[in-house]
Structures are given as structure tokens and as C-alpha cells.
Amino acid sequence: MSQSHNRGLIEDFGRWREFRAGMWAWIFHKFTGWVLVGYLFTHIAVLSTAIPASGQETAVLQAGDDVYTQTIVTLEELLLVRILEVGLLAVAVFHILNGTRLLFIDLGVGLESQDKSFYASLILTGLITVASVPTFLAGAF
């Protein structure tokens, strides 16, 4: 059985040296959440170029010369954007894996091994991110 005890104020990041796996998982989940919600707003802003593009001539759309296609193509030509996409994948994968871990813990499954599942989330995130690098950088050079 788990025991409840005074965890102290985990919002006090100055205590980071005392943090254990569960605290780091909580901090990483919060950090990756902030990144993802920030990206969501940016993502919709960039995709909104489809609105003016939809009013352009069919021939322009078919040639890919519309403002939406050109915006995405121009961004994808930047190496920095490709690298940021790899970072975004890492952030998303960790948030998904750790989020799955949190859902199980909330259901009462795996609380006693929550530190191990956190380390597993980190390792799996690293492996998936590394494996995705060739896909994200294809055609960038």
C-alpha cells in the first residue's frame, strides 16, 4: 500500500536537488505541456494561410503557388524548422507516454513502480526521437 506523507511544496523549483522520479515526471509533463499548447496556437496561425489561399485561382493552387503551400514549403526548407520538428516530436512523444503512465496511475495501476515507468517513458522517447531523425531531415540538405 502507498502511504501519504508531506511532499513539501513541489512548485518550489529551488528544491530540484531533492526531486525524485515522480517530481521530475511532473515537471517534464508540465514543461512539455506548455510547449505543446504554445505550438498549438502557432500551428493554427501558420495553417490559417489556407484561408486566403482558398480564394486563389485553381491554376495557382494546382501549381502550388498559393500562399499556404508556399508558406509551408518555405518553412520546411529551413534546417532550423526541421530540427525544431524533431524537438516537437520528442516533446509530444514524452507527453503521450507519460500521459498514458499518469492515466494508469490514476486508475490505480502501477503506482508502486511509477519511477520505473517514468524512466521507461524517457528511454522510449529517446529511441523514437532518434529513429525519427532521418524522416524529419529528409531533403533538408
Taking CB under 8 A as the criterion, which residues in 97-136 touch another protein?
99-100, 102-103, 105-106, 111-112, 114, 132, 135-136
We find the least distance from the C-beta atom of residue 122 to another protein, in angstroms, to be 16
Q: Which helix (H) or strand (E) holds 136?
A: helix 114-137
Residue with Cβ nearer another protein (64 or 123): 64
We find the least distance from the C-beta atom of residue 126 to another protein, in angstroms, to be 17
* Secondary structure of 18-61 as H, E, C letters: HCCHHHHHHHHHHHHHHHHHHHHHHHHHHHCCHHHHCCCCHHHH
Asked if 57 interacts with another protein (CB under 8 A), we say: no
Cα 111 vs. chain centroid, distance in angstroms? 24
- Selected binder of another protein within 30, 127, 130, 133 (CB under 8 A): 30
